[in-house]
Amino acid sequence: MAAVTMTVDDIRPWNDHAVRSRFPALARNAPPIYADAPGGTQVPSEVIDAMVDYLSTINSNIEGEFDATRQTDALIHEARADAAALVGGDPEGIAFGQNMTTLNFNLVRAVGRTLTSGDEIIVTQLDHEANVSPWLLMAQDRDLTVRTIPLTTDLDIDLDVLASTVGPRTRVVAFTLASNAVGTVTKAREIADMAHAHGALAWMDGVAFTPHRLVDVNALGSDVLLLSPYKVYGPHLGVGWIRPELAESLPAERVRPASLRPLGHRFETGTLSHEAIAGFRGSIDYLTSLGTGSDTREQIKTAFMSIQAHEAQLVDVFLQGLADIPTVHLVGRAGSSDRVATFGLRTLNVSPEQAARHLDAHGIYAWNGNFYAQGVMEALGVDPESGILRLGFAHYNNLSDVQRCLEALRTLGITG
């Protein structure tokens, strides 16, 4: 197929109301302000309807000879195509799982069985533990060396250190596309190129990136890419994409009778949440409806152009407003480029927990804690028990949400 170049004219004009009215949670009378997106997003009606519909009218196991089971097989087949369209890859490599963490443990164990004593794994201090702990545990089992790449002062993966660390024994470079704690967008292609130059795999955590920007596994050079649909306007579920040749070569931990095709199915242990897979399809229907174009991928691409442009405004306004609040300090990247709308904040007069309670009292949902981003907490020198405050916006947030968050932050430590 010929490459299509999208321009700003291809994206639909943004309409806050039209977007927000699709989300029942936001259409309630006096809903809270959801500034908690990095912990999980709200869902549009398509997701709720698809899950209810599946459970009401199909609700079956797979690979049987009656209608409901055939419909479930078809659902999973179509969901693989949808997930492939979301990441820009081959549907054969799509695997569903309970969540990203569980899927990653499965995949790491599979690749671990191909590694030998002295092989090296690179992880980063920016990553969520879901892309660190499985490697540390596997390294103990297989006598591997794990090397951790530290962060730059603006909380990005230090590429100079990476360049001097990756070497002939490196087998995997595991890293995130974006930080779930402080919003940094990493230089994924450069990192993948460094890994590949040494014959290592580029193992990408896309969980914190996928809600905000288009993923393209081929352009990124991914060997493995993982995401969590419950943070991309869908239900609680995990999705992985494994480059098909790699998926075929890995000794997956699986039960003997399970089918070997599609390749991604090798990493799916037991019965999946079919209703969540139905809901995932609903989230893709929703996303494609925000875009334009003749196929699902193009619609997703243009939807993310709109989402990114809208969120860039939210980021700018939030950062400008924050600069005038002396008692709340942004951690990490101060500029609005190369970041998503996830903000790690230090609150000078109150603890992160008190700050989250204060925001709740103002009708704002925001998270406090370490968000399992242990390396980031270490780099910041904060007590991981207490962590930091985190506000995160999704495309369904609007400028009024951002302003109300800023107003509430201004009174932190002054009023209840």
Ligand X SMILES: Cc1ncc(COP(=O)(O)O)c(C=O)c1O
Chain contacts with ligand X (rule: CB under 6 A): 99-101, 128, 130, 176, 180, 205, 207-208, 228, 238
Output DSSP code: residue 258.
S
Distance (Å, rounded) from C-alpha 111 to C-alpha 313? Answer: 41
Output the smallest distance, CB 399 to ligand X, in A: 25
For residue 298, what is the enclosing H or E element?
helix 296-322
Which residue number, 195 or 204, has a Cβ lying nearer to ligand X?
204
DSSP state at residue 130:
G
Smallest distance from the beta carbon of 126 to ligand X, in angstroms? 9
Distance CA 72, CA 78 (A): 10
The nearest distance, CB 232 to ligand X, in angstroms, is 11
Complex with ligand X: residue 58 or 132, whichever CB lies closer: 132
Rounded to an integer, what distance in angstroms lies between the CA atom of residue 319 and that of residue 334? 8
Least Å from the CB of residue 270 to ligand X: 17
Cα–Cα distance for residue pair 14/79, rounded to 1 Å? 27
- d(CA 236, CA 98) in angstroms, rounded, equals 7
**Cβ closest to ligand X, residue 20 vs residue 128:** 128
On whether the CB atoms of residues 247 and 267 are closer than 8 A, the answer is yes
CB nearer to ligand X: pick between 101 and 184: 101
| Closest CB 295 distance from ligand X, rounded Å | 28
Q: Is 297 within 8 Å of 88 (Cβ atoms)?
A: yes
Q: Please, which residue, 14 or 105, has the CB nearer to ligand X? A: 105
The closest of 150, 208, 158 to 179, measured between CA atoms, is: 208
Euclidean distance between CA atoms 253 and 231, whole angstroms:
27
CB of 234 or CB of 291, closer to ligand X:
234
For helices 296-322 and 67-87, angle between their N-to-C axes, nearest 10 degrees: 60
Using CA atoms, how far apart are residues 160 and 256, in angstroms rounded to an integer?
45
For residue 333, the Cα-to-chain-centroid distance in whole angstroms is 19
Tokens read off for 97: 């799982």
Quick one: 180 or 306, whose CB is closer to ligand X? 180
Q: Least distance in Å: CB of 372 to ligand X? A: 6
- Least Å distance, CB 106 to ligand X, is 12
Minimum separation from the CB atom of position 181 to ligand X (A): 8
DSSP H or E stretch at residue 253? none
Of the pair 222, 228, the CB lying nearest ligand X is at 228
8 A C-beta contact, residue 107 and residue 268: no
CB of 191 to ligand X, least distance (A): 15
* Helix count and strand count (H, E) for the chain: 14, 13
- Helix H, strand E, coil C: the string for 33-65 is EECEHHHCCCCCHHHHHHHHHHHHHCCCCCCCC
**Residue 130 or 214: which CB sits closer to ligand X?**
130
